[in-house]
Structure 1
Amino acid sequence: MGNVNLLAVFLAAAAFFIVGAIWYSALFGKVWQREAGLSDEQIKSGNAALIFGLCFLFELLIALMLGHQFAMTNPSTRGIMMISVGFAIGIMVPAIGINYLFQRKSGKLFAIDAGHFIVGMAAMGGVFVYFS
Structure 2
Amino acid sequence: MDFLNFPAILVAAVSALVVGFIWYNPKVFGNAWMKEAGMTEEKIKSGNMAKIFIMAFIFAFLLAMTMMQLTIHQTGALSLIGGDPSVALPSYDAFMADYGDAFRSYKHGALHGVLAGVFIALPIIGTNALFERKSAKYIFINAGYWIVTLGVMGTIICGWV
**Runs of 4 or more consecutive aligned structure 1 residues displaced over 6 Å after TM superposition:** none
The partner residue of 1:72 within 72, 75, 82 is: 75
Give, in whole Å, the separation in 1 of the partners of 2:41 and 2:69: 39
Moved more, 55-64 or 76-85: 76-85
Normalised by the size of structure 1, how large is the TM-score? 0.90
Give, in whole Å, the separation in 2 of the partners of 1:117 and 1:59: 11
Q: Which of the pair has the greater relative contact order for Cα pairs under 8 Å at 6+ separation?
A: 1
Instruction: Find the counterpart in structure 2 of residue 93 from structure 1.
Output: 122
Contact 2:13 2:153 in 1 (8 A): yes
Give, in whole Å, the separation in 1 of the partners of 2:52 and 2:30: 16
SS at match of 2:24: helix
Tell me how far 1:8 sits from its aligned partner: 0.6
Contact 1:2 1:72 in 2 (8 A): no
Please provide the CA RMSD for this pair: 1.8
Q: Please identify the structure whose Cα radius of gyration is greater.
A: 2
Aligned residue type for 2:35: R
Unmatched segments (≥5 aa) in structure 1: none
Tell me how far 1:29 sits from its aligned partner: 1.0
Tell me how far 1:2 sits from its aligned partner: 4.6
For residues 41-96 of structure 1, give each alpha carbon's deviation from its aligned partner in whole angstroms, at most 9, with x where no partner exists.
10100010111111111011000112244250465124422321111110111011
Give, in whole Å, the separation in 1 of the partners of 2:110 and 2:149: 12
Unmatched segments (≥5 aa) in structure 2: 77-99
Give, in whole Å, the separation in 2 of the partners of 1:41 and 1:16: 24
More helix by share: 1
Instruction: Find the counterpart in structure 1 of residue 142 from structure 2.
Output: 113
Instruction: Find the counterpart in structure 2 of residue 126 from structure 1.
Output: 155
SS at match of 1:62: helix
Give, in whole Å, the separation in 2 of the partners of 1:81 and 1:36: 28
SS at match of 1:4: coil
